[in-house]
Structure 1
Amino acid sequence: MKWVSGFHTGMIVELKTLTKTLENFQSSPKMCKISSTFLLYFIQKRFLSTVSSSTIPLPFVSTIEFLKNSCGLACQTLQIDEKNSHKYEAIIGFFRSHGFDNSQIANLVSRRPSILQSRVSDNLKPKLEFLEEIGIVGPLLPKVILSNPRILQTSLDSQLKPSFCFIKRMLESDEQVTFAICRSSWLLTADFKGIMQSNINVLVSEGVSSRNIAKLIVLQPRAIMQMVDRMVYAVKTVKELGIEPNAHMFVYAVKVMVSMKDSTWKKKINVLKSLGWSEKEIFAAFKREPLCLARSEEKMRDVADFCLNTAKLDPGTVISYPKFFMCALDKRLRPRYKVLEVLKAKNLLKNKKIAWVLLQGERNFVENYILKHLDEIPDLMDIYRGNVAAETRSVL
């Protein structure tokens, strides 16, 4: 029997053992009365109950069984039966030949059962070839399809290709187009003639450069897929806050405003006000780093709590460095603070103003505050990586 690569070794051993059992039963006079059909049934039930059908290689499990077991009730609407098994096998085989694993195929069919009614040569094949031609290859291909299965049910010539050409005209390179589509595959199926073009027209009419519009599309593809009145409101609000359309931060501010509800915006402003900052200070911080208000209220509170109560930074310092609210608390701020505390305990920290140290680039921090002191504190890198035992040893 030819086994598909990646199949679980333990399951292979188990199947061979059960098969051997069947042979022994058949050759034993005492067991000759036991039906071979029954034993085969036993092996099938024992084996299939051990392994999920989504991981069993086809065609070991029938296509029909795979679909029914893996895709649930969604497939029942298509009245899956043996008559169409060859068609289903062709479709599943096609997706597998393009890098989809069984779980991804099951996911796709569960969400879009009508995929099983598609024609490979006329419908699926040209669309996947188009995606591969524009750079969506390897693991990216299943990822993009699963993020927006509508791609497979949308016209290639009247929607997908024109949408790609539309986006390409706005961006500077094919790589940026691919990046934008991977961030939001809905760019390929959205209304590019209506909504997207209208949103771009709003930005152009305000004096936003084509380069900055391209930056917005790459940063936040969904921004140009919002309803036009939302874009108009976001541009108006950002201008009222004092950020001009020709400013570097304008598209970042629009990105934030267009992606959140008014109520969410007010809640975030109120969170910072409750921590002692005035609206003037908050809006000044937003002008410097608009993305500081892109975090959730909970994460903003957590960062503020760390800065004010753990790192003991004064409120004026924190609001003057709004980038704090853009940093990962557990992956950046806390590990760096622990390193600085150890250096301080060993009288190796010369810079007492730690705010900028917490925010500087990764390479600079590692070179100046970790590698530089490894002779005196060999465990410093382990401390940075979160090794509690190393931290304890270093402060003793």
Structure 2
Amino acid sequence: MYSLILHGRRSIELQKWRKLADSANLLQNAFAFSSARAVADVSLRDGRKGKNFTVSYLVGSLGFTTKLAESISRRVSFEVNGNADSVLSLFRSHGFTDPQISSIIMNYPRLLMVDAEKSLGPKLNFLLSRGASSSELTEIVSEVPKILGKKGEKTLGRYYDFVKVVIEADKSSNLKKICHSLPQGSKQENKIRNVLLLRDLGVPKRLLFPLLISDAQAVCGKEKFEESLKKVVVMGFDPTTAKFVQALRIVQGLSDKTMLEKVNVYTRLGFDGWEMFNRYPIFLALSEKNILNSVETFLSLGFSRDEFAKMVKHFPPCIGLSAELVKKKAGFLVKKMNWPRTTLVSHPAVLGYDMEKRIVPRCNVIKTLMSKGLLGETGNELPPIGCVLKNTDKEFLNRFVRKFDDQELVAELMTIFTGDCAS
């Protein structure tokens, strides 16, 4: 098995990995333009208020950069600091250092929303009561804060032990001794052995720990796991990437026959099925019905099969988008904003953007500028979709908001962009 690992490493080093564009969130709730100003502005305003407070809190209390705080605020948002202050105080009272607390919140920010007295406190005290030292507790929770999201003392204790073994393995050269100390054939022994094997293969801890604290079958068993791991290594997946773990999950969960059938579904549609698997392993988890429904959705919107194939080639997650979202976003961008359908063929990634947080606010700014005659040579010239939706917030604001000398206009546009305007 270890010779396979070494061979896999060498073959992986020789490969030139393709760089893929970042996929945005794919499955978010969206709504049409007609309700954007009447209904969406209310939720946008409330959400933006909480987001702004959260960003200020993270910057002031934990020293995060504004960029990092804004990223975290997309995952958790609050408008008062009482509960968050209690959580931070609780961690400090248990000996967590400020860098450790920052790491915990950065990786698992939802803990700021958890009741410190009724939920977090009892869990930390339970781990201390069963023999964990203060230093072990702070180290393990800092490495894998999602442990504190587990319910039930038995489950919490079991996963704590799993993580503890792997962390101790990092400090020991005798891995076999660690595994042999566990009950042979037990679920714990299998999981620890398999995770340590993945660690030796080069899978980073950030990908290993989620496997440890879940009941996923990807690292359970022995013969099936080793067989699946060999296949994934031979296929050339890079063990340092999330795609390696995704591929292992798929191969572990599907028979060879089922995998081939799913690959053939893509092939029949005109795609290279194995290339699709190599680029996005998770797509093999989609059922044939879901794949065909996706095709029908795009065809029903007027896209040709060749156009759909082009879109998938440039943005494979198109296949994973829900029919409802595709229809809403495409309808909004084509019918309400008047971008030609061919624009979506050239820029399919925009269909993956969040309707509420990105598409609607930016398009509201563009509509306002057009109504005032401030865009392009004609005054109401619709800019390219890429300039409006694909640029970063900073680039968009510099190009369409901050460039104006009229401060009242800038303030009005910023209000529209942030969703703080009245409906």
The residue that corresponds to 1:152 in the other structure is 158
User: What is the CA-CA distance between 1:158 and the residue it aligns to?
Assistant: 0.5
Q: Give how far 1:225 is off.
A: 4.4
After TM superposition, give the deviation of residue 320 of structure 1 in Å. 2.4
Which residue number corresponds to residue 346 of structure 1?
A: 372
What whole-Å deviation, never above 9, does each CA across 1:162-201 have from its counterpart, x for those lacking one? 23223324555323434x549x823487425344544444
For residues 71-100 of structure 1, the C-alpha deviation after alignment (integer angstroms, 9 at most, x for no partner) is xxxxxxxxxxxxxxxxxxxxx986342689
Q: Pairwise mapping of residues 345-384 of structure 1 onto structure 2 (< 5 A)?
A: 345-350=371-376, 352-356=382-386, 357-373=388-404, 375=407, 376-384=409-417
Which amino acid in 2 is paired with 1:364? E
1:266 is aligned to 2:292 = yes
The amino acid across from 2:307 in the alignment is E
Q: What is residue 307 of structure 1 aligned with on the other side? A: 333
SS in 2 for 1:211: coil
Residues 159, 189 of structure 1: 8 Å contact kept: no
CA contact (8 A) 1:370 1:381 kept: yes
- The yes-or-no answer on 1:215 pairing with 2:248 is no
Equivalent residue, structure 2, for 1:227: 254
Matches within 5 A, 1:4-153: 95-97=123-125, 120=130, 133=140, 136-138=143-145, 140-143=146-149, 149=155, 152=158
What does residue 50 of structure 1 align with? none
| Distance across 1 between alignment mates of 2:374 and 2:225 | 55
What corresponds to 1:334 in structure 2? 360
Change (3 A) 1:291 1:194: farther
Q: Distance in 2 between matches of 1:187 and 1:131?
A: 26
Query: Which residues of structure 1 form unaligned runs of 5+?
Result: 7-53, 59-69, 71-91, 101-118
Q: Give the structure with higher Rg (CA).
A: 1
Tell me whether 1:275 sits opposite 2:308 in the alignment: no
Measured on the aligned residues, the alpha-carbon RMSD in Å equals 4.3
Q: For residue 174 of structure 1, what is the aligned residue in structure 2?
A: 205
1:107-128 C-alpha deviation (Å, 9 max, x unpaired):
xxxxxxxxxxxx946xxx69xx
Letter in 1 for 2:292: K
TM-score by length of 2: 0.53
The change in CA–CA distance for 1:218 and 1:135 in structure 2 (over 3 A counts) is farther
Shift in Å, 1:263: 0.9
Q: 1:201 to 1:163 in 2, by over 3 A?
A: closer
| Unaligned segments of structure 2, at least 5 residues | 1-81, 84-113, 163-185
Alignment equivalent of 1:254, drawn from 274, 281, 293: 281
Give the direction of change, closer, same or farther, for the CA distance of 1:354–1:132 in structure 2 (3 Å limit). Answer: same
- Aligned-pair identity in percent equals 18
Shift of 1:383: 0.6
Kindly provide the CA deviation profile for residues 111-148 of structure 1, in whole angstroms up to 9, marking residues without a partner as x. xxxxxxxx946xxx69xx6996495444x2222568x9
| Alpha-carbon distance change, 201 to 160 in structure 1, aligned in 2, over 3 angstroms | closer
Check conservation: 1:339, 1:384, Cα contact below 8 A.
yes
- For the 8 Å contact 2:218–2:252, the answer to whether it is kept is no
Distance 1:188 1:151 in 2: 20
> Separation in 2 of the partners of 1:98 and 1:367?
52
Would the aligned equivalents of 1:244 and 1:250 in 2 still touch at CA under 8 Å?
A: yes
Distance 1:250 1:274, change over 3 A: same
Is the 8 Å Cα contact of residues 364 and 417 (structure 2) preserved in structure 1? yes
Q: Following TM superposition, by how much is the alpha carbon of 1:289 offset from its aligned partner in structure 2, in angstroms?
A: 0.8
Q: Aligned-pair distance for 1:345?
A: 2.4
**SS at 2:329 equivalent:** helix
Aligned residue for 1:303, secondary structure, equals helix
How many residue pairs match? The answer is: 276
SS at match of 1:210: coil
CA spacing shift, 1:163–1:224, aligned 2, 3 Å? same
Equivalent pair of 2:362/2:417 in contact (CA under 8 Å): yes
Q: Distance in 2 between the 1:236 and 1:130 partners?
A: 49
State the TM-score, normalized to the length of structure 1.
Answer: 0.56
Conserved? CA contact 2:326–2:351, under 8 Å: yes
Q: How far apart are the structure 1 equivalents of 2:116 and 2:314?
A: 54
CA–CA distance in structure 2, aligned partners of residues 134 and 234 of structure 1: 40
- How far, CA to CA, are the matches of 2:116 and 2:228 in structure 1? 48
Q: How far apart are 1:378 and its partner, in Å?
A: 1.5
- Cα deviation, residue 358, structure 1: 1.7
Which structure has the higher relative contact order (CA within 8 Å, separation 6+)? 2
State the Cα distance separating 1:214 from its structure 2 match: 3.1
1:190–1:174 CA distance, 2 compared to 1 (3 A)? closer
Alpha-carbon distance in 1 for matches of 2:124, 2:224: 35
The residue identity in structure 1 corresponding to 2:346 is S
CA pair 162-238 structure 1, distance change in 2 beyond 3 A: farther
Return the match for 1:162 from 193, 202, 209. 193
Letter in 1 for 2:238: R
What is the SS of the residue equivalent to 2:335?
Answer: helix
